[in-house]
Amino acid sequence: MTEFAHTDVAVVDDPSAGVEPVAGAGSAGPQRRMPLPDFARLLLRNPKSAFGIAVFAGIVLVSIAAPLLTHGDPTVPNDLPGQAPSRELPFGSTDQGYNVYTQVLYGGRLSLLVAGSATLISMAIAITLGLVAAYSGGWIDDCINLLTNIFLVIPGLPLLIVISAFLTSTGPATMAVIIGLTSWAIETRILRGQAMSLRNRDFVLAAKVAGESTPRIVFGELMPNMLSRIAAGFAFVFVQAIFLEAALEFLGFGDANKVSWGTILFWATNNSTLLQGEWWHFVFPGAAISLTILAIVFVNYGIDELSNPRLSSKSPRKRRRRRMLAGILWPRSAAA
Amino acid sequence: MRFILRRLTFYGIAFWAALTINFALPRLMPGSPLDGLLLRYQDVIRANPSILPTLKAQLGSKDEPVWQAYPHYIGNVFTGDFGFSTAKGVPVSDVIAQTLPWSIFLVGVGFLLSFALGTTLGMFAAWRRGGFTDNVLTPLMMALQSFPAFFLSLLAVYFLGLRLGWFPIQHAYSNETNVGLTWHFLGDAFRHAQLPILIIVAISAGGWLLGMRNVMINTVAEDYISLAQAKGLRDRRVMTRYAARNAILPPLTGFASFFASAVGGLILIEVVFSYPGVGLTIQQAALGHDYPLVQALLLLLSLCVLLANLIMDCVYAVLDPRVRSG
């Protein structure tokens, strides 16, 4: 597991930010490029992340296959209003006669799409800023670092609320953009820290000497060596995005006519279904959001364990025994 | 001292940045927020014509160019003139004075409880790896953390409040209670705060637990722990005085991020419980397009996060001599 020695996910927030990591060139041992499939295979072997990936894949599949799993239209109130879950209505129906089951299945599409797009925007910013800052150093690094630190201390949800207050309409696309533009700071900081430890490696210096341009070195040399950390970043930002999207819609800042997990919850509280005892109206969409976040949290948990084997909850003795057994069965992989 | 000074400079810059974002946002948006406001709150503005210059500086208007409006706006903020809440018809500072204490109460108590609970459990989890705390409580707290604050609040309101009737489900005190420094009022306010605080603890204790556990796992492997054990000290003493004491600093720095996310969670919790704090107010103000109030509250929340960071820096400097000299 030497490959993971540098992907320290459990970043300790140092108050004296910008402390130069020990860029000891030779001492760290040979670092070989890690292609993503290897990383993915390790993730699937870890029970926690394998569970997380399976659950998340299931949620995505169910959302995509929504038309196959339900016959109703989520925007047409076809059923008897206020019905408790039953065989015909697995998740019950709302006060207006919407089928909650249909709404939750279709709602996942919009929620996942908005959160996914926001994550792409946010990670694109984080990768660019973090890597350019770490590679360039000097005043560019200072500026990016200052900007990152400022965005870290401005609370995200209130900022989003204020932006939505000024916007005349916040459709799904707008929402993805504003979430993406406000949630890149933490990952920028983490990626910058990790890129700094790679900055003085031989392959980067060689590329520099060979006269490669900065974008080429950053995206062609640095980035491929950080893929595992970047993958973890995607998972981390996605959790934020799915939470922020649902929160904004729940608070009434989304397009309430579109069906997503957040807007179902918005209607559930707006129609005071709570007081009438219609628990199914908010429990199922809320559970969908929580399950999605839980799945990703498990993936992150697995990544943490892979990068720092000490964190594994197995007792060291048991682990040693297992490793010995693995060494006998698969001599090659255990040597890694 | 130099460390604190450096941080102070940064917080100064960050506050200025928050001010500038506040100033720039309404000017960057499509359409004119000021026109919409003038139209929507005609009566309020006609009754108080003196608020118009401040409004223009806040939201931008054609007859005041940016280079004049910017100093005007900053000057207003530093003289404490945050404008007039158009929806409530009172100065913004009055609204803040009424709502802020409630929020500070919730977050303060919630923080202390979750920190104490989280770090204690994290200590046990790391000390007896594979034990009950580690195998059962750690995953449980992690799972709780993945419930968004609003969903957990809704569940709690419905099941603990409505069904079981253990807690009051909304507002900070009962309608029939008179506000004042009486035992009756304090008791009533405390009862109403129980459930919101419980939610804050439930969603944030997991973070402290994991932070403490992950640092302490490394501390436990240190030589001085083995030495303490070899000396024959009692297990509990080694755990608290030797391992936990050295492990508690790094998780403490997580306070900054805890606070920033707590502000977000607070808004959601206050909205679900109709708790009259800053969070509920900013949501209502934003939905009602009460821009002066919204802007002032964003500034206030940013300032609170900055102050919390500053306090934590000072605590850290006191606790860790390495920071002071560096």
The closest CB to that of B286, out of A13, A152, A161, belongs to: A161
pLDDT, residue B28, reads 80
Comparing CB atoms, the residue among A153, A166, A252 nearest residue B306 is A153
Report the pLDDT value the prediction gives residue A331, as an integer from 0 to 100: 47
User: Are the beta carbons of A165 and B291 separated by less than 8 Å?
Assistant: yes
pLDDT over 70 (residue A320): no
pLDDT score of B242: 87
Question: What pLDDT does B324 receive?
Answer: 65
CA–CA dist A223, A227 (Å, integer): 6
**Which of A9, A49, A154, A317 would you mutate first to test chain B, the one with the most B CBs within 10 A?**
A154
Each residue's pLDDT tens digit, A187-204 = 999 999 888 888 888 888
Reported ipTM: the value is 0.86
Q: Is A15 helix (H, G, I), strand (E, B) or coil?
A: coil
Tens of pLDDT, residues B232-246: 888 888 898 888 888
**Would you state the structure tokens that stand for residue A246, as one six-digit string?**
């649902």
What pairing do the DSSP bridges indicate for beta strands B84-85 and B90-91?
Answer: antiparallel
Domains in chain A, CATH or no CATH each: 49-307 (1.10.3720.10)
Could you tell me if A144 and A133 are in contact, meaning their C-beta atoms sit under 8 angstroms apart? yes
Question: What does the alpha-carbon distance between residue B231 and residue A110 come to, in Å, rounded to a whole number?
Answer: 61
* The predicted structure's pLDDT at residue B26: 84
**pLDDT per residue as tens digits for the range B123-147:** 999 888 877 888 888 888 877 877 8
Average pLDDT, integer, range A259-278: 83
pLDDT score for B211: 86
Whether the CB-CB separation of A119 and B225 falls below 8 Å is answered with no
Contact B25 A166 (CB under 8 A): yes
pLDDT band at A29; cut points 50, 70, 90? very low
Contacts of residue B294, defined as CB under 8 A and 6 or more positions apart, other chains included, come to A161, A162, A165, B282, B285, B286
Domains and CATH numbers, chain B: 2-78 (no CATH), 92-323 (1.10.3720.10)
Tell me what pLDDT residue B290 has.
Answer: 85
Predicted confidence at residue A12, as pLDDT, reads 39
pLDDT value for A144? 93
When pLDDT is cut at 50, 70 and 90, the band that residue A184 belongs to is very high
Label residue A261 by pLDDT band (50, 70, 90): very high
Residue B301: its chain A contacts at CB < 8 A?
155, 158
Q: Exposed, middle or buried by CB within 10 Å (0-12, 13-18, 19+), for B62?
A: exposed
